[in-house]
């Protein structure tokens, strides 16, 4: 096969790493395109270095633009690349603007789209509880699924969601590709991190928090509520801050208000090795990140989701995650009270999604 993999954001570099390695090891050509949606060292290059992802063949260097300018700019550049490279298929991941732009460009160039981590839904489009602009991921997911030729799902629930939207052909439950990365990296002993020593924290005696979704950063009252909850914690809360959240906090003068005389410790975004060490050793994880919720589950650490809905509803139903919205009281309560459930079931597969995906595509491309 002659595949084109198109990525642009932190979680996509992490998910692409094992899949690209699998494609290469089976002798497939893989043209690797980075849109440049995430571009600074801590959100991009560090993952290429740590996860040994090859240098991109193309970097569109799109940078920080409005969503419309970003998507149209990416599509513009991708058209030329797709026409030049003529791949068998375009591989896209998840739900970012890069996913949507790459899919629209591939569709218009008549290149089949392969959507990895398709079918997940949080149903916010139906609920209309928040303006659509604050839930771009859900719209991106729905649009991409409806123009994809093959969809690989992380959960069985995603397969059912797609069936409800009459998408049943070439849909496969492969399991979560981020579990492949998590498991592979966890097996390499040399990839140990010393972040606990550097931050002077002890295993099981701290909380980890991440907040970056537009619903929590673009609505200032929500961010303030979340920070209020975190800053009341009796144990240290390590908060690797996303640049988008940092920008809002700087502009709204929230830094000193919440970090002075509190256990909230804001640090720069960390690399993947450090993040895994923090996740595996945290007593509890508070997050709005789809990736971090799942890695908390893989680490058997309970998590609090600072959102009203989640596409990872299986994790809520198994008791490993709690939806608390942006409620400072509940956030603070759960940091201290949330316990591990007794049972853990592999609802997101067994960490071999990369093999199932490539095997399926090999058969599909020969049809």
Interacting residues toward ligand UDP by CB under 6 A: 10-11, 14, 210, 212, 240, 269-272, 275, 289-292, 295
- Is the distance from CB of 258 to CB of 223 less than 8 angstroms? no
Q: Determine the Cα–Cα distance for residues 294 and 273; give it in Å rounded to an integer.
A: 16
Given the complex with ligand UDP, which of 14 and 266 has the nearer CB atom?
A: 14
User: In whole angstroms, how close is the CB of 178 to ligand UDP at the nearest point?
Assistant: 6
| Rounded least distance, CB 194 to ligand UDP, Å | 16
**Which string of DSSP letters, residue by residue, matches 147-190?**
T-SEEEESSHHHHHHHHHTT--TTEEE---HHHHHHHHHHT-GG
**Closer by beta carbon to ligand UDP, 38 or else 157:** 38
Q: Which is nearer to ligand UDP, 8 or 229 (CB)?
A: 8
Q: How far is the CB of 237 from ligand UDP (least distance, A)?
A: 14
Between the alpha carbon of residue 282 and those of residues 149, 196, 231, 339, the distances in Å are 40, 10, 17, 12
User: Which of 34, 115, 212, 242 is the catalytic position?
Assistant: 212
Nearest distance, CB of residue 53 and ligand UDP, angstroms: 13
Q: Are 234 and 206 in contact (CB under 8 A)?
A: no
Pairing label, strands 113-116, 207-210: unpaired
What are the residue ranges of helices labelled H in the chain?
A: 10-25, 45-50, 67-85, 97-108, 124-127, 136-145, 156-164, 177-186, 195-199, 214-217, 220-231, 243-251, 255-259, 272-281, 290-298, 313-317, 328-337, 353-365
- Closer residue to ligand UDP, CB minimum distance, 10 or 157: 10
Locate 282 and state its tokens.
Answer: 């945290």
Backbone torsions φ then ψ of 73, nearest 5 degrees: -65, -45
Q: How many CB atoms lie within 10 A of CB 215?
A: 25
Q: Supply the minimum distance, in Å, between the C-beta of residue 343 and ligand UDP.
A: 24
| DSSP character at residue 204 | T
Residue showing the smallest CB distance to ligand UDP in the complex:
291
Q: How many CB atoms lie within 10 A of CB 188?
A: 9
Least CB distance to ligand UDP at residue 147 (A): 21
Nearer of residues 161 and 289 to ligand UDP, judged by Cβ: 289
**Beta carbon of residue 280, minimum distance to ligand UDP (angstroms, whole number):** 11
* Residue nearer to ligand UDP on the CB measure, 112 or 145: 145
**Dihedral of alpha carbons 186, 189, 194, 200, sign:** positive
Is 345 strand, coil or helix?
A: coil
Of 82 and 245, which has the nearer Cβ to ligand UDP? Answer: 245
212 is catalytic: yes
Active site residues: 212
């Amino acid at each position: 096969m002659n595949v084109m993999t198109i990525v642009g954001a932190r979680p996509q570099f992490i998910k692409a790493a094992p899949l690209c390695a699998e494609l290469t090891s089976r002798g497939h050509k893989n043209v690797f395109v980075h849109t440049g949606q995430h571009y600074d060292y801590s959100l991009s290059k560090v993952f290429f270095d740590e996860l040994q992802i090859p240098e991109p063949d193309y970097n569109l260097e799109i940078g920080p633009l409005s969503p419309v300018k970003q998507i149209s700019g990416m599509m513009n550049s991708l058209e030329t690349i797709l026409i030049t490279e003529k791949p068998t298929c375009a591989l896209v991941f998840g739900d970012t603007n890069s996913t949507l732009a790459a899919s629209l460009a591939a569709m218009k160039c008549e290149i089949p789209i392969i959507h990895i981590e398709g079918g997940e839904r949080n149903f916010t489009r139906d609920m209309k509880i928040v303006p659509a602009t604050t839930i771009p991921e859900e719209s991106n997911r729905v649009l991409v699924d409806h123009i994809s030729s093959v969809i690989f799902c992380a959960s069985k629930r995603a397969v059912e969601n797609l069936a409800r939207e009459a998408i049943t052909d070439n849909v496969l439950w492969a399991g979560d590709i981020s579990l492949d990365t998590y498991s592979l990296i966890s097996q390499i002993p040399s990839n140990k991190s010393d972040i606990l020593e550097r931050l002077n924290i002890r295993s099981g005696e701290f909380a980890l928090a991440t907040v970056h979704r537009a619903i929590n950063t673009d609505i200032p009252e929500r961010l303030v509520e979340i920070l209020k909850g975190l800053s009341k914690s009796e144990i240290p809360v390590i908060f690797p801050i996303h640049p988008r959240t940092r920008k809002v906090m700087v502009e709204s003068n929230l830094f000193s208000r919440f970090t002075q005389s509190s256990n909230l410790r804001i640090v720069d975004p960390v690399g993947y090795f450090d993040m895994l060490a923090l996740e595996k050793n945290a007593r509890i994880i508070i997050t709005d990140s789809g990736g971090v919720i799942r890695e908390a589950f893989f680490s058997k650490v309970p998590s609090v989701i600072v959102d009203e809905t989640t596409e990872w509803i299986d994790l809520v139903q198994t008791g490993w995650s709690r939806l608390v919205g942006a409620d400072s009281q509940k956030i603070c309560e759960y940091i201290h009270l949330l316990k591990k459930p007794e049972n853990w079931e592999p609802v997101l597969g067994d960490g071999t999604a990369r093999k199932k995906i490539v095997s399926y595509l090999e058969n599909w491309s020969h049809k």
